[in-house]
Structure 1
Amino acid sequence: MPIAAVDYNHVRLTVSDIAVSKKFYDDVFGFEVAFELPPNPDVDTKEALGFLFGGVIYKFAGGLLGLRPTAPSDDTFGEDRAGLDHLSFSVASMQDLHDAAALLDTLGIEHEPVKDLGDAGMAILEFRDPDNIALEIAGPNS
């Protein structure tokens, strides 16, 4: 009998520089922080939050998104290797996609134009994070 999964729980991305990645995800998405190692933690706090590996876990309506700063500084993401291809977040409308593109422009983040996927019933906005991880915003095209 297959596993009776009802939804995904979280995704954790391996990043090379937590300060750079955290600023990017804070600026772009503004998710609430669920767990983060505080500055100058005591031994008990370090032990309790050891699963973060010095990173952060965000909470949003769709689940949890973690950033784990364990990649070498010269490493970058590649969707053509085994593993993740891209990570897509949902928005409610085509206007939200255009608003997201405007925000990325304001932040100086390169992105593709909003693409209408026609009969698929959706449109997407593609861009990359500081580690070159492929990100997407998807919403209805009507």
Structure 2
Amino acid sequence: MPITTTGFSHARLTVRDIDTSRRFYDAVFGWDVAYELPADADEQTREQLWFLFGGVIYQIPGGLFGLRPVADGDDTFSEDRVGLDHVSFAVADRAELEAAVEVLDSLGATHEEIKDAGAMYLLEFRDPDGIALELTAMK
């Protein structure tokens, strides 16, 4: 018998610099923070939030999305290595993709053109670590 799942729970990306990554993800997506360690956290709070590993976890529609600082400044992402190809986030429609282009342009974030992939439209871009991200709008 296969394992029965009820949905998506969470994903966490490893990043080089949590401050740089936070600025990017906050500016692009504006998600609410679900978990982060307060700067003045006491020992009990630090123990309760051990799973953050110096990062942050956002509340996103359908689950959680986290960032965890682990890599040194010379490390780079490659979708051609074992691990991760890309992360895709759903948006309502093509108009949302067009609005996303404006957001990315205003932030100076490099992105591809909106692509027609048959049953959907795609907008590809990368975060500060070069991690491949995508927005998808079903037709």
The normalised TM-score by structure 2 is: 0.96
Superposed displacement of residue 6, structure 1: 2.1
Structure 1 gaps, min length 5: none
Paired with 2:55 and 2:40, the residues of 1 have a C-alpha distance of: 14
Paired with 1:34 and 1:19, the residues of 2 have a C-alpha distance of: 17
Residue number in structure 2 paired with 1:137? 135
Residue number in structure 2 paired with 1:18? 18
Deviations 1:55-101 (A, max 9, x none): 00000112110001111221111100001100000001100000001
Superposed structure 1 runs of 4+ greater than 2 Å apart: none
Residue number in structure 1 paired with 2:73? 73
Determine if the alignment matches structure 1 residue 42 to structure 2 residue 42. Answer: yes
Paired with 1:32 and 1:50, the residues of 2 have a C-alpha distance of: 20
Q: 1:45 is paired with a residue of what secondary structure?
A: helix
Superposed displacement of residue 136, structure 1: 0.1
Residue number in structure 1 paired with 2:126? 128
Paired with 1:40 and 1:92, the residues of 2 have a C-alpha distance of: 39
Paired with 1:78 and 1:42, the residues of 2 have a C-alpha distance of: 38
Residue number in structure 2 paired with 1:115? 115
Q: 2:74 is paired with a residue of what secondary structure?
A: coil
Q: How does 1:48-67 map to 2 (within 5 A)?
A: 48-67=48-67
Deviations 1:106-142 (A, max 9, x none): 010000011111xx3100000000111000000024x
Paired letter, 1:7: G
Percent identity between matched residues is: 57
Paired with 2:82 and 2:36, the residues of 1 have a C-alpha distance of: 28
Paired with 2:73 and 2:48, the residues of 1 have a C-alpha distance of: 26
Q: How does 1:93-108 map to 2 (within 5 A)?
A: 93-108=93-108
Structure 2 gaps, min length 5: none
User: What is the Cα-based RMSD across aligned positions, in Å?
Assistant: 0.9
Superposed displacement of residue 50, structure 1: 1.1
Q: Report how many residues are paired.
A: 139
